[in-house]
Amino acid sequence: MKKLLLMKRLLVLLVLMNCIISANASEITSNWKISGYVISDFYHITKSDSNEYTDYKPKEFKQINQDFEGNTGFQIRRIYLTFDNTISDNISARIRFEMGNTPFAQTKMEPFIKDAYLKWKINKNHNLYYGIQGSAAFGLIEKFWGYRIMQKTASDYYGIRSSRDFGIGLKGKIAKKVGYHVIAGNGESNKSEKTGDMTKLYAAAFDYSPIKNLTIQVYGDALVCDNRDNETTSQIFTGYKSDLFRIGFQFTHQTNVLLKSTQVGTVDLIAVPLVIKINDKFNAITQFTKYTVSEAIDYDQMFVVTGIDFRPVKNVNIMPNIEIVQYNFDGEPTKTDLVSKLTVSYKFK
């Protein structure tokens, strides 16, 4: 009898909750927006030379003594689920969850929080952000490139800076043709401050559009840390976009503690993204990068990714593409990786 009475009460409670939710459904849906997308690959690793030097993080094949050559399979590379909420006329919030996977590795996907911030619209030209938010280092570049689904921007891929930071950011327009993005954060990606290091990242980017379709951005930052040498980054990006194509040029220079090393040195990065419109459903895409580390021991890499984007319907991309990586460690013979992919991605809103 007690179980039956409990079930009846639970049923009544569920009915009441359903009535309340139904009565307020229009208000809830007007304040919330749910979106996301999935990136997946069918891949074949044609060639993969052994690379023991994992501290240099420019490669996808970072596992030591593991032979990837000849591997073929399916993988889901990324899943994003985003919740945007309008709190008031001037304040909104975003929480974005991501599930990521190490490329070509036999591991389960791990979920984590990608974004978690409050946005205050100060006025039509300035917005203040608090929380885990996008980086100033390549937010504009990533939007210009437009093919994160195929490969990251060069700064992100090589770990020059993380795609996220936890802190306070200000973004907007100084004038009609001049934009800015400044952040003061932990310098630890989407994590809290690292205990004992007292790391802080101060970053600023300014963009200028002197003529229609042309954008120039300069970026600089300082990673300040109590327990290791400081690190600084300077970067310039120029992008031209027309109805038929878009092409960009990026140069990045970084000094001091590099890629888990105790040595002082420099990193130089050149990237050229190119997208050509074939017709309404097809684009041709290429990104060339040249990455050089000058330290106690030198490292050099060239990376080219190229492919075709086919959009059968809106928000669905089918992209055959090839990645070619050539790298050289301290004057040793050049090694090569070659990966063929069929990337399929889809968005929902």
pLDDT reported for residue 53: 41
Tokens of 166: 């936890």
Residue 297 lies in a domain: yes
pLDDT reported for residue 316: 97
User: Can you list the alpha helix ranges (DSSP code H) found in the chain?
Assistant: 2-23, 25-31, 139-145, 154-157
Residue 1 lies in a domain: no
Q: Mean pLDDT per segment of 10 residues, for the chain of length 349 residues?
A: 48 50 52 92 83 45 56 89 94 93 72 93 96 93 95 89 92 95 87 66 96 96 77 95 97 74 77 97 97 80 95 96 87 84 94
Report the Cα 119 to chain-centroid distance in Å.
Answer: 20
**Nearest CA-CA partner of 38 in 84, 95, 96, 99:** 99
Residue 24 lies in a domain: no
Query: Between the CA of residue 250 and those of 34, 154, 239, 322, what are the distances in Å?
Result: 33, 9, 9, 22
pLDDT reported for residue 45: 86
Residue 320 lies in a domain: yes
pLDDT reported for residue 257: 59
Q: Residue 260's domain spans which residues?
A: 31-348
| CATH label of the domain that carries residue 238 | 2.40.160.10
Residue 304 lies in a domain: yes
Tokens of 240: 């031209």
Residue 61 lies in a domain: yes
pLDDT reported for residue 55: 42
Name the burial class of residue 59, with classes exposed (0-12), middle (13-18) and buried (19+) by CB atoms within 10 angstroms of its CB. buried
Within 13 A of 165's CA, how many CA atoms are on the CB side?
26
Total tally of structural domains belonging to the chain: 1
Residue 23 lies in a domain: no
Contact 130, 301 (CB under 8 A): no
pLDDT reported for residue 227: 64
Determine the Cα–Cα distance for residues 70 and 48; give it in Å rounded to an integer: 8
pLDDT reported for residue 157: 87
The total number of residues written for the chain in this structure: 349
Determine the Cα–Cα distance for residues 160 and 235; give it in Å rounded to an integer: 10
Tokens of 330: 């301290």
3-state secondary structure of 165: strand
Residue 20 lies in a domain: no
Query: pLDDT per residue over 43-68, tens digit each?
Result: 998 887 765 443 444 444 444 345 67
Tokens of 173: 């327009």
Query: Between the CA of residue 343 and those of 5, 143, 147, 229, what are the distances in Å?
Result: 54, 19, 11, 40
Tokens of 196: 């004992």
